[in-house]
Structure formats: structure tokens, C-alpha cells
Structure 1
Amino acid sequence: MIKVKALGNMTSSKKPTRLRKVASMSRPLLYPFYLLFGFFSLLSGIQSDDLQILMKLKSTLLQTSNTIAFISWESSISMCNFTGIICNSDGSVTEIELSYQNLTGILPLDSICQLQSLEKLSFGFNNLHGPIMDDLKNCVRLQYLDLGNNLFTGWSVPEISSLSQLRYLHLNASGFSGIFPWKSLQNMTGLVQLSLGDNPFNPSPFPNEVLQLTNLTWLYLSNCNIQGTIPAEIGNLKELINLELADNNMTGKIPVEIGNLVNLWQLELYNNSFTGKLPVGLRNLTKLEMFDFSWNNLEGDLFELRFLNNLASLQLFQNELSGQVPAEFGEFTKLVNLSLFGNSFTGPLPQNLGSCSKTNLIDVADNFFTGSIPPDMCKQGTMKWLIVFENYLTGEIPASYANCSTLRQFMVNNNSLSGKVPMGIWGLPNVIIIDISLNDLEGPITSDIKNAKSLTYLLAGNNRLSGELPTAISEAASLKSIKLNDNTLAGKIPYMICNVSFLEILDISNNSLSGKIPECLGNFSGHLRVMDLRMNNLCGAIPNTFAKGNQLRTLVFNDNNLEGLFPISLINCTNLEVLDLGNNMINDFFPYWLEYLPNLKVLVLKSNRFRGPIGNHNRRGMFFSELHILDLSYNEFTGPLPINYFENFNAMAINDEGKLEPQYMGEVKYYQDSVVVTLKGLEIKLQRILTIFTTIDLSNNKFRGEIPEVLGRLTILRSLNLSHNSLTGHIPSSLAYLSALESLDLSSNRLIGKIPMQLTSLTFLAMLNLSRNQLTGPIPQGNQFGTFENNSYDGNLGLCGFPLSSKCGTNELTQPAPPSTFQEDNDSLFASGFGWKAVSIGYGCGLLFGLAMGYVVFKIRKPKWLVRFIEGKQKGKKRRPNNQRPGQRRN
């Protein structure tokens, strides 16, 4: 006790010497333990901080994301075992890799950039949104940053220049916009990959800062609004293996210095406005596998590409290139994809083209190739897309193609091919499209079509195919379009065709088919949109089985021997836009209930045996308001003209001409509405019906009474034919408001009085026929009236003045009469100065010329010089209208 007490009372200065010695000796021994303890304390603190940051990231994104990425992110598990997390040797986080994880929400970069060891941050291909905040500049140790393919907005990272250690920068397709801070790239001299494409940045020239990044191997600046030319200094980036500048607004010639980039594997400059020839030096790019200069204005030949025998994909479509395809292309042993369509290439195709073991796409359509189809393009059994349409190829389809079981698209249409179609073509097991139309091919459609289980589009119109439609066609269950028009097919329409349940288009017009129309065709309630059976020898009554809910949009039965009553079940076809039953023997009254079809645009009942009055009933509401073409000629209709119909023809009164591009009725894939109309006394087939084309033909009936003033409201009517009726009274001066009128035929009626002087305002009027009436007085002079000859006025003994030989007296009226009440009311329509004259200057009679030329083109195959003169090669008009090019790669 005394000892303890004594010790306890000692002061520190009076400690025994022995104890002081022991303490002094033990301190150095403890230093490592102190250091180790401190290290683990620091390490534990870092790991704890990193863990907290990761858990905050999880909690932030889990609120809005539907993902399984965070299942392993539990505090009981080491964070270095979390999905997408990589740690270094001290346990701190160096990489976050969470691409393709279906993440949504706002990225909490304020905390992420507190990870002191973070070198890689990858959130590509998610649905992250919101702005990227300034916090990104704090991730100063980043070497890899991928935020590409997200939904961010704006650009608010002006200080990314602090990320000077970056080697990989991927921000493509992320929704960024505004001005990109190109100068910030000056500090990133170590960049190896730069991917900024597919963002709507403000327009800028090619950034010079990029040209200083000589370590780049990957440069993706497609679709980010770069303008101007490619600088020659691009040749300094000699490490590049990938260069993509597509989908921009670049112009000028492609610099020859591109030939210095000898390591290139992929080169894409498509969809710009480059001009000139393919640059000299391209032959140096012997490592090139992917080459795409399509959708430009390049010219010249393919001489520089002859030595690029490593090419797997060569795409030069839609340019102005010419010359022959080099024979060396047939020896490219790695060639998978060759697309040259839409150029001006000539001569024969290399006979060994596509014969290598990997080729699966050859598209050389819309050129001037001659000679035969190369026989070996299906030799290796890998060909999937064989597209050679719209050339001048001759000879037969090679028999070997019947064994091309891998073929998906076989499109040889619009050439000059002849001979029989190889039997096996019809039954290719994987084919989706067979298009052999517009050739001179012959032979039957064989029953092995039942083997074509994938066949969706059967297009064989305008040939000399013969025989009957095989019943086996019903087993090609995937068919959507059957177009066999303009052949010599005979026999009956097989009832089994109704089993093709997905059928949308049935066009077997202009053949020699006979018998009755199968009743079941009216029961297509699901998909059928077009039924075109015109110009055959079909007989009997039209089926009265059109079911409710059907999708029929076009029904064309004209020029057959159909008879009986008009089927009232057509009232169920509420989607109907085109109804053409002309040139048959239908015997009925006017089907007034057609008024209930709200979308009807074309109604042709001409040359039948319809009788009785039309219109002029007490029904209220809108009807026939969409009608553009009405042709009831050559029937036995009686009574007055249908005033209440004219009052509702709104589509003939509203100007639709302000659209930049022509609009056509009923454009669907592989079918185009057409109709035969009478213009200037000539029957013309409109292969496509412009929405601005309007016509009324009520000629050769027994209509009586006066021509109603209300016709003057149809201000965009192009053609009016009321000839060969029993119309009386005066020619209404309101017709002067038909300012788009090009053809007016009132001949062979009982009209009296003077020709209204107001009609001289019809400056587009190209044909006028007032003959065989009882008109009197002077013929108006001025504008188009100076172009009409005597036959426009024959049979009107009371007329005088030019061009007739009889002179008028000096007291004849030569000034227009005061406008009618109808005219005064309608003057307000044009009071703003926006009238037809102002809109239509320059239009003239060009429409009728174009229609006539369309008819000629359809009959004799379109001459390429005319197509290129009219359509040109403007970039904006180059897209293939009906189907996307197979195999086309777009980032």
C-alpha cells in the first residue's frame, strides 16, 4: 500500500529512471503500428465516403428507373463487388460502368465527382435526362467519359477543359444543343476517341481544335450541324481508323489529303453536299472496310476504288457518278454490301459480281446498266437482297436464282427482261418481295408459290404472264399485296384468294379474267384496302356482301360486263375514297346514300344505265364535301342539275396548292390511285391523281333547266363538262370565278343569250366548246378568247365577231355587265389580294401537259433523260419513296 501510494504521489519529473528508459525504448517500436493504424483509418474513411456516394447514386436513380442494376448494391456487400463498379488496390472506386441499364432520371454528378480516384464514368445508352451541371468539371481524373445516347437537354458545361486527362469522350446522341465549347478540347491532347455526333448543336465550321488532336483514332462528328468544307489538315490525323462526318451540311470537294489516312477502317461522309470527283489517293486506303459517300453530288468514275479489295461495304448511292463498274469489284472477296443505286453508271455489270462467299446485298437500281444479270450472284447461297430495278438489263432471269433459298428481296422490275420466269422463283422460302413488274416476262404463276411462306409483296404487273391464278396462292399466308395487273391472265378469280387473310392490295386489273366476282371479296373486314379489278371480262352483279368495319379505300371495277343493281352494302365502306364503276351495264337509280361516305374523293359511274334525278332533296348537313372528281357522263340521268351537291363540294372550292410538294391521292406502298378522265375531248389516264385536280363531267345525260349560279363557288375546278344535255337559260357570269378552269364544255344544249364578257378573266382556259346552242351577240375578246377557233362556236347562228366571219354591229355591248349578287358576295373572298391569279401565275396549261406526258411515260416506259430533267438530282428528293434500303446502316 505504501509503495503504491508513493508511486501514485510521484510527479512526472520524478519518475524512476528505469521506467523512463522503458518508455523511451518502446516509442520507435510503436511507429509502424501508428502508421498502419493511420493508414487503415484513412482508407476506411475513403471507402466509407465512396460507399456513401454510391448509395446516394442508387437512391437517386432508383426513384425513377426500372432496372436490376442495383440489386447487388447492398451495404452488407463490399462495394467493389457492386454491379458496374471497379476499385483499385486501396479499395477506392475507379470505374462506374452502368451503360445499357435502363436508367432514367437526373444524374447526381455533384456527388459522383467527389469520388477522388474516379477514372471512368460510363452511363451510355440509358434514358437519363435533365441538364448536365457544372459539377462535371470536378471529375478531373477522368480518362473515360461516356454519356452518349441519353436524353439530356441543353449544354451547360463550358469548363470541361479541366478534364485534361480524358482519352475517351463520348457524348453522341444525348440531346445536347446550343454552342459546343470546341476550345475546351485544346487541353485534351491525349484524346484517342471523340464522339459528339447526333446532337443539334448550333451551326459551325469544321472545328480547328479537332485537327490538333493527333492521337485520335476515332472521330465521330456526324449529324451535329457542321458546315463548310473539310480542311486539308484532316490528313494530319494519321492515327484515325474511323472518320464519320455524315449527315451534316458540308460542301466543296473532298480533300485529297484524306488519302493520307492509311489506317482508316471506316470512312463515312454520306448525306452532305460534296461535289467533284472521288479524290485521288483513295487507293491508298487499303485497310478500308466500310466506305459510304452516298447522298452527295459527286461525279466521275470509280477508278480510285479498284484496289480497295478489303471492302466489306461500299455505298455510293444517290450521286452523279458515271462510267462502268470496274471488273475488280467482282474479285472483292470480303464484299458484303454494294449499293450504287441512283447514279448514271453504264455498261454491263461484272459477270462475277456478288459471287464471293459473303455477299448478301447488291443494289444497283436506277442506273443505265445494260447487258444481262450476272448469273452467279446467288451462287454462294448468301444473297439476301438483289435489287437491280430501273435499268436497261436484257435477257432472261438466270435459272440459278430459283435455288437462291436465302433471298429476301428480288427486285428486277422496270428493265427489258424477257423469257419465262424460272419456276422456283415463285416458291423461294424466305423471299419477302418479288418484284418483276414492267418487263416482258412470260409464263404461268406456278403452284409452288405455296412454299413462299414469307412472301409479302407479289408484284408482277405489266408483263405477259399467262394461265390462271393458282389456288395455291391462298397458302402464301403472309401476302399483303398482289399486283398482277396488265398481263394476259385468264380464267376465274379463285374463291380461295379470300383465305389470304392479311391481304391489303388486290390489283389484277387489265387481264382476261372472266366469271363472277367471288362473293367472299366483300367480306374482307380486316385489312383489304384496295380492290382493283378493272378492264377484265367479269360479269354478273357486284357482290352485295360488303361488311361493316371493312377497310376498303379504293374500289375499281370499271370496264367489265357487270350488271344488275348498285350494291347497297357499299354504305358500309366508310373509308372509301375512290369508287370507279364506269363502263359497265349497271341498271339502277342514282345511289343517293353514297352521300353518307365522308371520305369519298373520286366517284365515277359513267357509261352505265343509271337513270332518274340526282340530288336536290331536302337532306341537311355536309355530304360529298371531299369530292374532287365526279363523272356521271353517258347515263340517263334526268331533272335539274344537283344544286345542293354543288353547294357542298368544298374540296373544289378550297385552295390546296400552297403546299411545297405535290400531294397525290391514295399513295400506299406499291399502289397508286389512277383514273381515266376526259379532258379537251380526249380520254387520258391519270397514273397519279393530284389533290389539286378537280373535275365535273355530267355530259351525255338528260339534265334540264338552267346552269346554277352556285357553280361559281368552285374556284379551283379544273374541268367542267355539261355538254349533250337539255340545259336552258343563260350562261351564268359567275363561271368567271372558276379561276383555275382549263376546260369548259357546254356544247349541245339549249343555252341562249350572250357569252358573258367576264369569262375573259379565265386566263388558264385552254379549251372552250359552246357549239350547238342558241347563243347570240358578240364573242368576247381578250386573253384566252383570242386563241379559240370557229369550232368552239359552231351552230350558234346568232353569234358574231372574231373568229367568226360574221361581223357585229357597232351598237353591240362590249363591256362586262354588272356583277350578279353571287359575284358581289364572293368578291370578299379575294379582297385580301390572295387570289388565284396571284397564286397560279406560271402554272398555265402545264398540268394538262404533265398529265399527257404521264400517260405517254406509262405506255412507253419513262425516258431517263426526261426524268432527270424534271426530277433532277437534288439531295432533298433522293429518298426512296416506298421502301427503306435493306442493310442500310445509320448511326
Structure 2
Amino acid sequence: MGNSQKTFFSFQTYESSMYREIWNSQGPIPGSVYELQNLTDLVLSSNNLSGVVELDKLLKLKHLSYLDLSYNGLSLNINNSVNSIFPYFDTIRLSSCNLSEFPKFLREHAGLRSLDLSNNKIHGEVPKWIFDVGKDSLYDLNLSHNFLTSLEHLPLKNLRSIDLHSNLLQGSLPLPPNTTDFFSISDNKLIGEITPLICGLSLAVLDVFNNSLSGLIPQCLENLSNFLSVLNVGNNIFRGTFTTTFTKGNMLRNLNLNGNQIKGQVPQSLLNCRHLEVLDLGESKKNDTFPHWLGTLQNLQVLVLRFNTFHGQKGTFKTKAKHLFPKLRIIDISCNEFTSHLPTNYIKQFGAMMNVGHIPISLGNLKNLESLDLSSNTFVGEIPQQLKSLMFHEVQSLSDNQLAGPIPQGSQFNTFGNDSYSGNLVLCGFSLSKKCKELQPLPPPPTLQQDENLDSSSGFNWQVVVLGYGCGFVFGMVVGYLMFGPIPGSVYELQNLTDLVLSSNNLSGVVELDKLLKLKHLSYLDLSYNGNNIFRGTFTTTFTKGNMLRNLNLNGNQIKGQVPQSLLNCRHLEVLDLGESKKNDTFPTGHIPISLGNLKNLESLDLSSNTFVGEIPQQLKSLMFHEVQSLSDNQLAGPIPQGSQFNTFGNDSYSGNLVLCGFSLSKKCKELQPLPPPPTLQQDENLDSSSGFNGKL
């Protein structure tokens, strides 16, 4: 029975689907498991098991060598005084098992090869006896995400992987054994310098991010060029210049110097880093011109130069390369001293950015990513499920974007709070109070294959266009790149365009809305806030049935004409913003059309700063997902509808309507002659299309 039991219980390796179907991944571990005397491997990780595990009973299974109870809702009942013949464990994984101390039964396992006690509640010093566990055999040690405060040394001889990140470790940086290739001790309270002795190792990953380490970064790290793949020394207080010379043939993929006091220029030896994917030199007192030559790095995906003193022009760069920055996806050059905009020919050569707007699914391939901040941008669409594969993903902020749909569940996503997602009005799911409802799926982001095989010669033939600005982190276009002039005519011919976000620029001229809205895949249109050079044009288009529009934002423009009745064909519409047009002479007038109550998916409605008159239609009470509303600064009158979502809106939703009264306002309604009624629904639907909603936009 030994082999069959091993196959059955090691479901992650052999029979994962069968195991889950049998137990449905929930409830306590059956008592019969403790009777399986020939059991060799018990792997129950990443389920929804609960209850108490009688660990002393498991330890009596003398053939058990592989035990993994991680990532469940289990608690372990450990009888540290139990006196029994322990099995000879090879692997013990007890991550997220509510442990508050190091289990003393580990002392008996001199032949242990892999130990994972991460994501528990273990406080204080790392006991000295732990280094007698697997003294000559242990190659994998993970004590991350605990509350450990001190670690004198790492005497184990054969360790290859050491993960101590996210603790409270103090003192100097411990030197790992010379067999180590993965060493992560980020997010602790270490002080002092990096000893040059570390250069004698064969490290592939060195991560000391977010400590208080100081001094100079050892120049001898160049000796690791043939091995080092990730060097993350960000968020410390290193000083001086970064003089490391990267030799040809090196394996470096990720270099993070962010948040230090490292002066000087960007080392040109980075040109030898042909595998480099992420280069973060932000907030590090760099004084240089724009490093055009980095554009020849064929694998560079992320370039951060923000908050330095880069200066001069971002002009052209002569090179034999066909395209500069061919795989660049994120560029942040904000808050420097540049004297020009990034040239248009650069933008056209950003081949990997020709599908921007959505969060790229390829970020899921950055396996060492621990912190991701894409806040305060204009990302749209759903959060990619691929981000669940980031096992070290500890900090995330996607707030203040235009994301929609369900938040991924499981893995690290279950640890992020509401603040990570705030300001995304149509996002729903775990950690938010807003639950997801059944909707037609959003247009998907490009697949990874599509994402990588885009024809960079197609210029503006983009599926998503994002042209934002500001001193922050913008994805897809360049932070601080302020767009002027009219929208290029070629945009109207982008038949596969799904998201067009041109907000907060200085664009001007005539917008041919009828042409834009004929793009049958268009889901997201935002033309708001374009400074003093306000968009002009007419709003005479016919919204066809079956269109995919979910967000329409024309806030603060000078678009004439009347709102077409065919807007009712926008059955997927979730956000409608026609506000802040009072500064023009073309703002909407008349009653708020009662037929807006037919837009059943509408979640956000902004008609503020116009001259709507009459009462607020009672029909808007039928909008069950109506969460955000602004009708302020109009000429509305009469009682505010009561009940349904209207009971959740505050005074600010109605301010500036002097004769409006009722719930949420201090002004109560008195008995008055009724106001002239708005048109009936039948009248509203039979309006001649030339008169639209009897209002102008």
C-alpha cells in the first residue's frame, strides 16, 4: 500500500485533481490519515483545510518523510514532550500554520533537506539549536514573514536557498555559506555595510531591499557577473558612486538601486547586460543626461529614473538598432530636469507599448517581484490572473485607476487590503465591500503571445492609447509627457481600439465623436480635462445596438449638440460623466431624461455643473448598482427620490441646487404646487432624434 498512498497524498505532484475532488479541499483532515502506517508523503498545501492537526500522531508514522501542510487554515497541536520514534524527514513545510515558536521536534531531524516555517507568528531570536537541524544536509531554509529579531550567523554548510525577508532582524548583514545561490533578507532592520566577503560567493539572487544598510556598495560585486541575476539593494542608505563594471556575458536581469544616495552617472557597462529586464535607478541622486544607449538593450522592460537630476534634452540617438527599447513596458522619468519632451519617434518605437492601458499579463513572469505600485494612473480592464503567480508579492497598490471586474483570489491577493484598490469605481470582489455581479466579460487584454509579437512598424495602430501626465508613475506613455494639438486622424481608423484615454492633457481641436463611437470594440472613452484648449465638436452620433461601451467621460469640454437618445443602446454602460461644462455656453439643459433609468448597469453618473432643471426622475431609483452620483450645481428643484441607492448619497451630490429638498439635505420639503413634470417614458422614447434629450452638450 506504500506506493499507492504516496501517489494519492502527494496530489500536487501526481494526482492533484483527484485529491481535491475527494476532499473538496475543505474541512478537517480525516482521522484515518493518522492510521496510514506506510504513508511516505503527505502534501496538503494550498487548500481550505481547517481544524487542529495532531502533529504528535503524524510523527508516529515511521515512514513519513515529506510533510507539507502549508497555506490552509490549520492549527498544529504540538506536544513538545512527546517521546516516540520520529520518522526521518526529508522535507517539512509548515507555512501559514499559526506557529508561535520553533517546533522542538525538529531537533531530532539531522538529515532534513528542506524546511519552510514562513508566514507564521514566531517571535524573538532564532535559536542556536536550529542550525543543528540538517547541519550537513539542509539546502533550503525559509523563515520569512515572521517576527524574528536576531540571527547571529548561518553556519549551515550546504544551504543553497535562504529566505529571511519580512522579519525584524537587527544587527549586521549575516554572511551566508559559500554554497548559497539565493539570499533574500529584505524588509528587516539591518545596519552596517555589506562585507566584501560576499563577493566570494556564487549568488544568483542578492536581495537586501528596505533595510538601513550603509556605506559603499562593494565594487567587487562585478566578480559575481557570471552568476548574479538579481541585485536589489534599494531603499537603504548606501552612498558614493556605483562603479561596478559589468562584464560581457553576465546574467544580470534585475538591478534596483532605488532610494539610496548613489551619485554619478549611469554606468555604460550596463550595455553588457544583455539579459537586463528591470533597471530601477529612481531617487538615487543620479546626475546625467538621458541614457539613450539603454534603448539597445533588447530585453529591457522596466526603466525607472524618477526623482534624480537627469537633465538636458531627450533627443534622438543614432544606433544601428532597428528599434530602441523594443520590449519596454514601463518608463518613469518624472521629476527630473529635462528640457524637452520625449521625441515622437521614440514613442513610435516603443513596440511593447502598443498594447497599453491594461496591466500587462507578462508582469506575472517577474518572479522575484515583491512590491508593485501602479497607483494614480489610467489603467483599465481587469487585474490579470497571472499576477497570482508572484509568490514574493508583498506590497501592492493599484489604487486610483480605472480598473474593473473581479479582483483575483488566492495566493498573495488574499493579504492585500481595501487601500490597494481604492479609487477604482467598478472594481469588485475580495477585500472590497462591493461584491461582483454577473456581467458580460470585459474585453480581454492581449495574450502574452500577442503582446510580444506586435508589429512595431504599425506606428499608432494601437489597441489602447494612454496619454497621461504628471509627476507620478504612468504606464504605457511617458510620465511628464504633455500632449498638445488635435487627435491624429489615424486614431479614428483603429478598428481594434478598446480603450482611448486622453484625459489631463492639453489637446485641442475638433473631436469627431461620431467616428470615434463607430469603433465597434471601443469600451472606454475618456476625453476629460484637457486644459484651456477645450475639445470642440458635435455629439450627433448614433450608438448602435450591441456596442461595448462601458465608460464615457466627456467632462469639461466644449462639445455641442444634444445628447442622443441612442445612448440607451449602451446596455453595458457603467460610468457616464457629462459634468463640469458650465464654463461654456453649450452645457446640457432641460430635464434629466427619465430613460437613464434603463441603463441597468450604470454605477457612476456625473451631470454636475450644467443647467438641468425640474425634478430628479424617480426612475433613477431602479439603478441597483448606482454607487456614485453628482448632480450638483444645476437648477434642479423639488424632492430628492428616497429609498434604494439614493439613501447612500450625501449632501455633496446635490449642492448648488437652491430649490432642491429632501433626504441628505438640511432643507426639508414643504407642501408646494408640483413642478411641471418631466416627459413620460413614452414621450421620452418617442422624441425625434434631432432633438435628442432636449439638451446640449
TM over 0.5: yes
Which protein has the larger Cα radius of gyration, Structure 1 or Structure 2? 1
Percent of pairs with identical residues:
19
Change (3 A) 1:347 1:172: closer
Aligned position for 1:811: 673
Superimposed CA distance per residue, residues 553-586 of structure 1 (whole angstroms, 9 cap, x where no aligned partner): 5669999xxxxxxxxx996254554623335543
Partners in 1 of 2:314 and 2:263 — Cα distance? 20
Change (3 A) 1:376 1:791: closer
Shift of residue 385 of structure 1?
0.3
Read off the aligned partner of 1:728 and give its amino acid letter: P
Contact 1:426/1:449 (8 A) holds in 2: no
Contact 1:739/1:762 (8 A) holds in 2: yes
Aligned position for 2:14: 198
Read off the aligned partner of 2:136 and give its amino acid letter: K
Secondary structure of 2:536's match?
A: strand
Partners in 2 of 1:442 and 1:204 — Cα distance? 53
Shift of residue 723 of structure 1?
1.1
1:622-661 mapped onto 2 (5 Å cutoff): 622-623=519-520, 625-627=522-524, 631-640=528-537, 644=541, 652-653=549-550
Contact 1:722/1:747 (8 A) holds in 2: yes
Partners in 1 of 2:653 and 2:255 — Cα distance? 49
Does 1:365 pair with 2:165?
yes
Does 1:492 pair with 2:283?
no
Does 1:376 pair with 2:175?
yes
Q: Which runs of 5+ in 2 are unaligned?
A: 358-373, 377-455, 471-480, 688-697
Read off the aligned partner of 1:329 and give its amino acid letter: I
Aligned position for 1:771: 632
Aligned position for 1:10: none
Greater relative CO (CA pairs within 8 A, separation 6+): 2
Shift of residue 408 of structure 1?
0.5
Superimposed CA distance per residue, residues 446-467 of structure 1 (whole angstroms, 9 cap, x where no aligned partner): 3424578111122344555544
Does 1:552 pair with 2:353?
yes
Contact 2:285/2:308 (8 A) holds in 1: yes
Aligned position for 1:588: 485
Aligned position for 1:476: 273
1:394-793 mapped onto 2 (5 Å cutoff): 394-396=190-192, 398-400=194-196, 402-413=198-209, 415-420=210-215, 422-424=217-219, 427=222, 428-429=224-225, 430-438=227-235, 443-450=240-247, 453-462=250-259, 465-519=262-316, 523-524=323-324, 526-545=326-345, 546=347, 550-553=351-354, 572=459, 574=461, 577=464, 579-583=466-470, 584-597=481-494, 603-618=500-515, 622-623=519-520, 625-627=522-524, 631-640=528-537, 644=541, 652-653=549-550, 696-712=552-568, 713=570, 715-718=572-575, 720=577, 722-725=579-582, 726=584, 727-730=587-590, 731-737=592-598, 743-762=604-623, 765=626, 768-786=629-647, 788=649, 791-793=652-654
Shift of residue 244 of structure 1?
1.0
Structure with the higher helix share, 1 or 2: 1
Partners in 2 of 1:701 and 1:204 — Cα distance? 56
Contact 1:462/1:487 (8 A) holds in 2: yes
Q: Which runs of 5+ in 1 are unaligned?
A: 1-166, 174-179, 183-193, 207-222, 560-568, 654-693, 826-891
Partners in 2 of 1:780 and 1:396 — Cα distance? 65
Change (3 A) 1:505 1:361: same
Secondary structure of 2:588's match?
A: strand
C-alpha RMSD over aligned residues: 4.8
Secondary structure of 1:758's match?
A: helix
Contact 1:522/1:547 (8 A) holds in 2: no
Partners in 2 of 1:610 and 1:558 — Cα distance? 24
Contact 2:182/2:205 (8 A) holds in 1: yes
Read off the aligned partner of 2:554 and give its amino acid letter: L
Shift of residue 589 of structure 1?
0.7
Partners in 2 of 1:522 and 1:760 — Cα distance? 58
Read off the aligned partner of 1:198 and give its amino acid letter: Y
Shift of residue 352 of structure 1?
0.9
Superimposed CA distance per residue, residues 120-145 of structure 1 (whole angstroms, 9 cap, x where no aligned partner): xxxxxxxxxxxxxxxxxxxxxxxxxx
Partners in 1 of 2:21 and 2:564 — Cα distance? 63
Partners in 1 of 2:501 and 2:69 — Cα distance? 47
Normalising by the residue count of structure 2, what TM-score does the alignment of the two structures yield?
A: 0.66
Superimposed CA distance per residue, residues 786-805 of structure 1 (whole angstroms, 9 cap, x where no aligned partner): 55555544444554556264
Read off the aligned partner of 1:385 and give its amino acid letter: F
Read off the aligned partner of 2:218 and give its amino acid letter: M
Secondary structure of 1:759's match?
A: helix
Partners in 2 of 1:582 and 1:195 — Cα distance? 50
Aligned position for 1:244: 41
Partners in 2 of 1:196 and 1:775 — Cα distance? 63
Partners in 2 of 1:709 and 1:536 — Cα distance? 48
Change (3 A) 1:536 1:305: farther
Partners in 1 of 2:220 and 2:508 — Cα distance? 50
Secondary structure of 1:497's match?
A: helix
1:213-232 mapped onto 2 (5 Å cutoff): 228-229=30-31, 231-232=33-34
Does 1:268 pair with 2:67?
yes
Shift of residue 497 of structure 1?
0.7
Superimposed CA distance per residue, residues 724-766 of structure 1 (whole angstroms, 9 cap, x where no aligned partner): 3531323333433455655543333343444333334445555
Secondary structure of 1:307's match?
A: helix
Aligned position for 2:367: none
Change (3 A) 1:611 1:269: closer
Superimposed CA distance per residue, residues 255-288 of structure 1 (whole angstroms, 9 cap, x where no aligned partner): 4144446687x33334585531445468867784
Partners in 2 of 1:576 and 1:365 — Cα distance? 39
Contact 2:192/2:212 (8 A) holds in 1: yes
Change (3 A) 1:558 1:388: closer
Contact 1:483/1:508 (8 A) holds in 2: yes
Shift of residue 588 of structure 1?
0.8
Shift of residue 809 of structure 1?
5.0
